[in-house]
Structure 1
Amino acid sequence: MNSPLLAGRGVVRSYGATPALRGVSLDIAEGEIVAVTGPSGCGKSTLLHCLAGILRPDAGEIHYRDQRIDLLSESARAVLRRTELGVLFQFGQLVPELTAAENAALPLLLAGTGRRAARTAALTWLDRLGVADQADTVPGEMSGGQQQRCALARAMITEPRVLFADEPTGALDSLTGEQVLNQMVRVAREQRTSVVLVTHDPRVAGYADREIMLRDGEIDPAGLGPVVARTARS
C-alpha cells in the first residue's frame, strides 16, 4: 500500500482548559477529496489548521510526505503553505487594497517570482475560474462568489499538493456555493490535488470521495466511509 500524502497521528489540541481534539488519527491519499464533518465546535477547523501547519498540536504528529511538519518552525511551515499546501478560507481573506490579479499572484510574489510572470499566472487562473474580467477589480467591488473564486485562484496558483478548504461556501448562497464547489473539485481533479474540505453541510460533503465525522474532538466511527461524490461541472 502506498504511504499517505498527509497523515495525522494522535493529534491533540486544547484551547486553555477546553479540549478541541482528543487524539485524532487520519490518512489523506494523493488526489483524494476528504470531507471533515460534524456539528459546530467538534474540532473540524482546529484539525484542518493542525494539518495545514497553521497551528501546532499539543501532542501527536502531522506527517506530510517524508517529514513531520509539526516539528518545523513557524516560518518553515509558512513557506510550505506558500509552495505545497494551499488554504481556502470561508471568507476568502483577500487583501482589500489589492486587485483580484494582485491577490491571486501573492503566493508567487512571496516566493520570489517576477511580477510579470506572477501576473501572467494569476490571469491564467482567474480565467480558468471564470473571473478574468475581475482581474483589476478590488474585493470590495466584487460579489461574494467572485471573491471566493479569486481566493481559490490564489490557493491553487502554486499547484499545491494539498488544498485545505475551511467552510469554503459558508458565506455564499446555495447556487453560488455550488458553482464554487464545482470549480474547486474540477481544478483539484485536473491537478491531482488532495483536498481536505471542512463543512457542516451534507450537501457540500457530497462533493468528496470520503467523509470523516468528528464529534467532541474525536472521530465518530459511525461517520466514516465513502460518500457519493458529485461530478464537477465546468
Structure 2
Amino acid sequence: MILQARGLVRSYGATPALRGVTLGLAEGEILAVTGPSGCGKSTLIHCLAGILRPDAGEVLYLGQRVDTLSEAARSKLRRGAFGVLFQFGQLVAELTAAENVALPLMLAGTGRREARTAALSWLERLGVAELADQRPGEVSGGQQQRVALARALVTEPRVLFADEPTGALDTLAGEQVLGHLVRLAREQGTTVVLVTHEPRIAGYADRELTLRDGVIDATGMGLTDKAVGA
C-alpha cells in the first residue's frame, strides 16, 4: 500500500465529519470517493493529504506516519510526493500560467529557468501551451483547471489528491480535464484520490468508496477489488 488511513476521526466543534474511516490505496490506483454533500469527503482528502490533522487515527504514506509530522514537513510533502488539485484551481491571480505551474518547483529550490522549462512542457502536455504568458483572469474556467492540473503534476507526485476537480466546470470542460488527469496519472503510475459527487466522474476510477455521515458505506464499495478498502 502506498497510502493508508486507519480509524480516522475528525470533528468540527460538536459536529463529526469522519467517524473511524479506514482505507488503503495500491500504487497507481485511481480511487473515487463519493457521497452526498456534507458526508466528509473533503475532510477525508484533506486528512490524507496532510492539510488537516485528524482528531484520532493514523495516515501513513509508504508506511510512515503523515499525521504526526510538523506543519512544515507536511507542506514539504505536498510540494513533492503529494500533488493537490482543488475545485476552483486556486491559481495565483497575479502570476502567468507558466509562473503558476513553475511555482511548486521554485518553492522546492529548482532554478527559475529549469522550473519554467518544466512548466512549459506540462502546459504543452495538457494542450494549453499558448496560455503560458496569460494570467488566470484572462482564460476560461476549463483552461484554468488544466493549468492547475499542470501545477499539481509538475513535481511528478506519487499521489495526486483531486477535490471536486470538475465541480466548477461545464460537462465538456470537465470531461477534458478528467481525461487529461487519468491519462497522465496512468502514464506516470500516479496514485489518485478523486473526490466527486458525480457518478460519471467516479466512472473514471478503478474503485469507488462511498461515504455517508462520516463512515464508509459498505454497500457502495464498488468498481473493482484492486486495492484494500475498509
Which residue among 28, 33, 36 is the counterpart of 1:36?
A: 33
Partner of 1:72: 69
5+ residue gaps, structure 2: 225-230
Q: Where do 1:2-81 residues align within 5 Å? A: 4-81=1-78
5+ residue gaps, structure 1: 228-234
- In 2, the alpha carbon distance for the partners of 1:139 and 1:114 equals 23
* Structure 2 SS opposite 1:9: strand
Partner of 1:83: 80
* Structure 2 SS opposite 1:90: coil
Structure 1 residue 125, shift from structure 2 partner:
0.1
* Structure 2 SS opposite 1:225: coil
Partner of 1:232: none
* Structure 2 SS opposite 1:101: helix
TM-score under structure 1 length normalisation = 0.95
Calculate percent identity across the aligned residue pairs.
76
* Structure 2 SS opposite 1:200: coil
- In 1, the alpha carbon distance for the partners of 2:60 and 2:109 equals 27
Structure 1 residue 226, shift from structure 2 partner:
1.3
Partner of 1:231: none
- Does 2:98 match 1:96? no
Which residue among 95, 115, 119 is the counterpart of 1:118?
A: 115
Letter in 2 for 1:209: D
Q: How many residues get paired?
A: 224
CA RMSD of aligned residues (A): 0.5
Partner of 2:104: 107
- Does 2:204 match 1:207? yes
Q: Deviations over 1:102-152 (max 9, x none)?
A: 000011000000000000000000000000000000000010011000000
Which residue among 132, 138, 143 is the counterpart of 1:146?
A: 143
Runs of 4+ in 1 over 2 A off after TM superposition: none
- In 1, the alpha carbon distance for the partners of 2:85 and 2:188 equals 16
* Structure 2 SS opposite 1:226: coil
* Structure 2 SS opposite 1:26: strand
Q: Deviations over 1:15-52 (max 9, x none)?
A: 00000000000001100000000000000000000000
- Does 2:223 match 1:221? no
Structure 1 residue 215, shift from structure 2 partner:
0.2
TM-score under structure 2 length normalisation = 0.97
Structure 1 residue 66, shift from structure 2 partner:
2.6
Partner of 2:157: 160
Higher RCO (C-alpha under 8 Å, 6+ residues apart): 2
